[in-house]
Structure 1
Amino acid sequence: MNAWWHEVWVTLQAEFADITDASQLTRMTVRLLMAAVLGGILGFEREHQGKAAGV
Structure 2
Amino acid sequence: MVLYRPQYNTRHTFTTLCLGEGVPANTVAQWVGNSPKTIYEHYAGLVSNISVPEL
Report the TM range for the smaller structure's normalisation. 0.3 to 0.5
Highest relative contact order (Cα 8 Å, sep 6+), 1 or 2?
A: 2
Higher helix share: 1
Structure of larger gyration radius? 1
